[in-house]
Amino acid sequence: MKQNIHIMKQSKILAAWLISLIMTAAALGLSGCASTKEHNTESMLSAAGFHTMTPTTPQQQACYAALPPFKVQRRESNGKVTYAYADKKAGILYVGGENEYQRYRQLGQQQKIADEQLQAAEMNQDAAMNWDSWGPGGMWW
């Protein structure tokens, strides 16, 4: 009987420790999400053929300052379409035309599909773990 109580106490301590660890990992993960998303966007822009520019003239710096950070913006001038993305942390501008933008969108769709496939695989792996064998609530609580 005493041994069962001791095992139950250890299980509760372990469960509390695991929950604390998961919460800490989640908090750290969420704090890096925006940065990771921005880095992913910049990687895809580069892969799509966008080139980087550093605004040097006062006119370029004024245009750059007016752009919202970390958003692809479309601009049409004299019948020519240009897309720009301002990385305000690095102080650079990603610039591309219609072909580069279409390639960027295609890469984004491919990334979305890959993410969905990974999520489905993780869900299938979780289902294969047969959590039901632990009974209602599992052994953790």
Please give the structure tokens belonging to residue 101.
């933008």
pLDDT digits (tens, 9 = 90+) for 62-89: 999 999 999 999 999 999 999 999 999 9
pLDDT digits (tens, 9 = 90+) for 110-135: 999 988 888 888 887 777 666 666 55
| Look-up of token digits 């993780």 | 122
pTM attached to this predicted model? 0.61
HSE-CB of 98 using CA atoms within 13 angstroms: 5
Radius of gyration of the chain from Cα atoms? 24
Give me the long-range contacts of 60-66 (CB less than 8 A, separation at least 24).
64/93
Residues linked to residue 74 through DSSP beta bridges, in sequence order: 83
Q: What is the pLDDT of residue 50?
A: 97
Virtual CA dihedral for 118, 70, 92, 89, nearest 10 degrees?
-90
